[in-house]
Amino acid sequence: MKNKIKVLRAEHELTQEQLAVKVEVSRQTINAIEKGKFDPSLPLAFKISRLFNKSIEEIFQNE
């Protein structure tokens, strides 16, 4: 699954570590999601979308 987390993170001037703290996961998890190695659960996807004030579909796209 592709996503725009890296772009949104840059727009909001957040590091992976800062985003990880905000959505209560490890930095490793944010990194794996950004690289498309790991698909987040629905609750985590909602947390990320709420944080960036976007819908889930705007952030995550099925390949």
Partner 1 sequence: MKEKKEPRVEVARKNTLHLALWTGAWVITLAISTFGTKGNDALTIIAILVNFIVGIGMILANIRHLKGLDELQRKIQLEAFGIALGLAVVAGISFSSLDQTNIISYNAEISHLVILIGVTYMAGVLIGNSRYR
Of 42 and 63, nearer to partner 1 (C-beta) is 42
Of 39 and 58, nearer to partner 1 (C-beta) is 39
Give the residue, chosen from 4, 29, 47, 56, that forms a contact with partner 1 under the rule CB under 8 A.
Answer: 29
Helices assigned H by DSSP within 1-63: 5-11, 16-22, 27-34, 42-52, 56-59
Which residues sit at the interface with partner 1, rule CB under 8 A?
20-21, 24-29, 31-32, 37-38, 40-41, 44
